[in-house]
Amino acid sequence: MKERTKFVLAAALVMGLCGTSFGHAPPGELYFAVQFPDNLVPTMDGDLSDWDVVPIDPYTIRNDRLYSPVADIQPVGRGEIDVSDINIRHLIGWNDNANKLYYMTEVFDNVHNLDRENPSAFWQDDAWEVEVNPDHTPTEEHNLEGEPANNFSYKWAVPPVEGAYQFYRPVRALEWFVDGSDFITFGWGYDGEQFGESTYYYELAITPIISMPNDESATPEQAVIFDLAEDEIIHTSVTVGDFDEPCTECALESYQGFWTMSPESCCTATNDVLLDQLLPEMESATAVEDVSWGQIKAAQ
């Protein structure tokens, strides 16, 4: 534990002194991705119970660390969320053998809005967005014209509208880069009123990509995969968009709220996230658990 603490302190010091070289925001802040042993890897099905093994600290990301960075949407300070309107919890994890990143978000919302007429216009409804840039390229170098894609956006709006629920940027039309592929697995669920006061649950597993051609001819073989490793720091951010009223000609002011881990608005990964070492309590669980949570749920 002492070695882990020393590393975290050293990493924070380096980031504070060399923020421009990493291009991260907010400067000097570090988030943590819990390392899942193989038999505790969560199943992406919208049931968050298999995340219960994760300690609250230092992994849970709550309202106090979220920004409303677009003044036209909601000009309030960091963490100034009205929990009667929306209440958000994030967790991030990873697994070495699968080389996967895992995300979960729990969102209480007084109104779950889903009324877009254009199935592709997910930005007109409540949406969940995950940004990933594993080699922490600065924002100003993300997805430059004529260059390979290097910041990847995974956007979701559920329930599906005419089958549409998954949306990707910057490359949008790759048959191999979709939910259910080797690169992406998504799950969701909810409690309460589906389109009223409810709590929605989102889960996502991805294979992290450093770069790939930014066009519709890209192939899986052209995707440069990032090798996840303990104590590595990556860039990733999570955003929740909140609509309470329907809109067809939507503007920024149409949002009720737009809450993100990043102070730089949406659509870019800026947060420093440490791929943590395997916790002793998680490691000891592997010795006594013959069946994973995922296997248990699959058998039900």
Dump pLDDT digits (tens) for 73-131.
Answer: 888 889 899 999 999 999 999 999 999 999 999 999 999 999 999 999 999 999 999 99
Top pLDDT among 300 and 202 is at: 202
Assigned domain for 16 exists: no
Q: Is 13 a domain residue?
A: no
Tokens (6 digits) for 141? 């170098």
Q: Which residues of 53-68 are buried (b: 16+ CB within 10 A; e: fewer)?
A: bbeeeebbbebebbbb
Q: Is residue 231 part of a domain?
A: yes
Whether residue 202 lies inside any domain: the answer is yes
Q: What is the pLDDT of residue 296?
A: 36
Question: Alpha-carbon torsion 43, 46, 48, 51, what sign?
Answer: positive
Of residues 187, 208, 175, 177, the one with CA closest to residue 98: 208
Amino acid at 137: T
Q: What angle do CA 125, 68, 116 make, to 5 degrees?
A: 10
User: Does 291 score more than 60 pLDDT?
Assistant: no
pLDDT of residue 4 exceeding 70: no
pLDDT at 10 over 90: no
More confident call, 60 vs 294: 60
Q: Is residue 1 part of a domain?
A: no
Average predicted confidence (pLDDT) for the chain: 87
Structure tokens at 43: 């199943």
pLDDT digits 0-9 by tens, 179-190: 999 999 999 999
| CB proximity list for 200: less than 8 A, separation 6 or greater | 106, 107, 109, 112, 126, 128, 158, 188, 189, 190
pLDDT value of position 122: 94
Q: pTM to 2 decimals?
A: 0.88
Q: How many domains does the chain have?
A: 1
The CATH number of the domain holding residue 86 is: 2.60.40.1190
Query: Does 90 map to a domain?
Result: yes
Over residues 261-277, the mean pLDDT reads 91
- Could you list the residue range(s) of the whole structural domain that residue 269 is in? 32-284
CA distance 216 to 218: 6
> According to the model, what pLDDT value does residue 3 have?
40
Asked whether residue 169 is assigned to any structural domain, the reply reads yes
The predicted model gives 235-244 an average pLDDT of 94
| 292 assigned to some structural domain | no
